[in-house]
With several copies, the nearest count.
Chain A
Amino acid sequence: MTGEQLTLDLDGWEGPLDLLLNLARAQKVDLTRISILALVEQYLGYVERARTLQLELAADYLVMAAWLAYLKSALLLPRDPVADADPEELALRLQLRLERLAAMREAGARLMARDRLGRDVFRRAAAEGLRTIRTPRWSAEIYDLIAGYGRVSARTRPVMHVVQDRAVMTLDAAIARVAAMVGSHVSWTAIERFLPDDATGAFRRSALASSFLAALELARQGRVELQQAAPFAPLYLRAPA
């Protein structure tokens, strides 16, 4: 036997029990009547050969070998009935395991040989299928509805308040006002002078902001000139020269 073949053989086994079962089959007797001792000898011989060929054996093969070596000595040597396990029982245990594996292996083969759906027997390939038509029934409670309206109202109401109550000068108004007034100022005039005299509080701030934007817009159009000495210094306007 070459090393390579032996490796392939070992790869082919599904573990030590599988190897034992195949060795047992070689005895060509019912599993209930195999010679456990002969089986142990064969297994240990197999593992020994693998070792001399320096093949790497999976740990569970070696564990099984150790256990079988122990079983062999127990079967052969007189035993201390108190200290040692009953070797006949250990042998029986091994035989029972082999029987169980053999039974399942055969059961698997018989299962696979049945008429299998999709290989031997067939369901209808062009089944139309059944359809479930789901019709939604929508639900909502009156509370949801009222609370929903409350939510919408609360969301939009404050905005309407603010717009109605606050006095502002719009940008259009500021442009018209600054453009009209700047024509009469040929000398530099502070922007505050362009605000309405009666402007106070929030309206004055609005008028100042809008007038500033108006000044920028008019300067862009070339209808006014601006001058400021430094950031935040007073801003002066005059008509273009």
Chain B
Amino acid sequence: MTPLDDTVRAVEALLFAAAEPMTVDSMRAYVAGDVRAALDRLVSDYAGRGINLVRRGERWHFQTAGDLAHLLRREREEVRRLSRAGIETLAIIAYHEPVTRAEIEAIRGVQISKGTLDVLMEAGWVRPAGRREIPGRPLTFATTPAFLAHFGLETRRDLPGIDDLRAAGLLDPVDLAVERAVEKANEDD
């Protein structure tokens, strides 16, 4: 292996020892030198190994390679089982964020029971994300860095199928889609 410079070794040790994923800024509080270059070097060093260095949002951490899941999987410690309502609500928040409760309910066609958002927030995947400046100033919700980390997403752009859904207009409100369809019909006439 080619010799490592001190910054690369330091960042490697730091991320290895850290209890939580770290941002570049938080790493800089510990390590001198070019942290970003060190991360690039480590990502390539660990590519293909049993451990990988991954970026989740603004945070970095080491984790085991996905293809080894069959060896390591711990079914019994299964991360909390979400109800169907919980899964759908989480997906709607992730694909539409920031999104109000009323918007979530409009998509699901049913009221959200009180516990559903609580469970998602308790899991650390969803957070309140400010109020929308419309009458009533409703609270909006968005996903957290822990959500990205848990589902192995580098950014929200990695959400499965998000580009196709956006292109198909399926992330737009129904009203907007109806308007568009009407316009299109008029053009075709």
Do A and B come into direct contact in the complex, CB within 8 Å? yes
A contact residues vs B (CB 8 Å cutoff): 14-18, 60, 89, 92-93, 96-97, 99-101, 103-112, 114-142, 144-159, 161-162, 165-166, 201-202
What chain A residues lie within 8 Å of B171 (beta carbons)? 150-151, 153-154, 157
Q: How many A-B residue pairs have CB under 8 A?
A: 280
Q: Give a binary string over B103-121; 1 marks a CB under 8 Å from any A CB, 0 the rest.
A: 0000111110000000100
What chain A residues lie within 8 Å of B84 (beta carbons)? 14, 148
Known interface pairs A136-B80, A149-B165. Does A101 touch B107 (Cβ–Cβ under 8 Å)? yes
Known interface pairs A99-B170, A112-B87, A202-B189. Does A15 touch B81 (Cβ–Cβ under 8 Å)? no
What chain B residues lie within 8 Å of A128 (beta carbons)? 17, 63-64, 72
Q: From residue B148, how far is it (CB to closest CB) to chain A in Å?
A: 10
**A224 to B170 Cα, complex, angstroms:** 54
**A109 to B95 Cα, complex, angstroms:** 13
Known interface pairs A99-B170, A104-B91, A153-B171. Does A146 touch B165 (Cβ–Cβ under 8 Å)? yes
Q: Which of B3-11, B39-47, B177-185 contacts the other chain?
A: B177-185
Q: From residue A18, how far is it (CB to closest CB) to chain B in Å?
A: 7
Which of A126, A146, A156 contacts B159, CB < 8 Å? A146
B55: Cβ under 8 A from any A Cβ: no
Give me 25 A-to-B residue pairs in the complex whose CB atoms sit less than 8 angstroms apart, sorted by A's number: A14-B84, A93-B178, A96-B174, A104-B88, A108-B87, A108-B90, A114-B153, A117-B151, A117-B152, A122-B63, A122-B64, A124-B16, A124-B62, A130-B72, A135-B76, A145-B91, A145-B159, A146-B168, A152-B88, A152-B109, A153-B165, A154-B175, A157-B171, A161-B182, A165-B186
Which of A100, A111, A122 contacts B17, CB < 8 Å? A122
B79: Cβ under 8 A from any A Cβ: yes
**A129 to B162 Cα, complex, angstroms:** 35
What chain A residues lie within 8 Å of B16 (beta carbons)? 122, 124, 127
What chain A residues lie within 8 Å of B74 (beta carbons)? 118-119, 130-133
**A166 to B177 Cα, complex, angstroms:** 19
Given contacts A123-B17, A144-B82, A150-B168, 8 further A-B contacts (CB under 8 A): A14-B88, A100-B174, A111-B91, A112-B87, A119-B79, A122-B72, A146-B91, A150-B171
B contact residues vs A (CB 8 Å cutoff): 13-14, 16-20, 30, 61-66, 69, 72-82, 84-88, 90-92, 94-95, 107-111, 119, 122-123, 125, 149-153, 159-162, 165, 168, 170-172, 174-179, 181-183, 186, 189
Contact A123 B69 (CB under 8 A): no
**A155 to B106 Cα, complex, angstroms:** 11
Q: From residue B108, how far is it (CB to closest CB) to chain A in Å?
A: 6
What chain B residues lie within 8 Å of A166 (beta carbons)? 186
Contact A137 B17 (CB under 8 A): no
What chain A residues lie within 8 Å of B151 (beta carbons)? 111, 114, 116-117, 140-142, 145
**A109 to B62 Cα, complex, angstroms:** 26
Q: From residue A224, how far is it (CB to closest CB) to chain B in Å?
A: 30
Known interface pairs A137-B79, A162-B182. Does A16 touch B109 (Cβ–Cβ under 8 Å)? yes
What chain B residues lie within 8 Å of A155 (beta carbons)? 108-109, 172, 175
Majority-rule SS of A interface residues: helix
**A100 to B170 Cα, complex, angstroms:** 6
Q: From residue B74, how far is it (CB to closest CB) to chain A in Å?
A: 5
**A154 to B109 Cα, complex, angstroms:** 11
**A118 to B171 Cα, complex, angstroms:** 30
Q: Whose C-beta in chain A lies nearest to the C-beta of B110?
A: A15
**A148 to B87 Cα, complex, angstroms:** 6
What chain A residues lie within 8 Å of B88 (beta carbons)? 14, 101, 104-105, 108, 148-149, 151-152
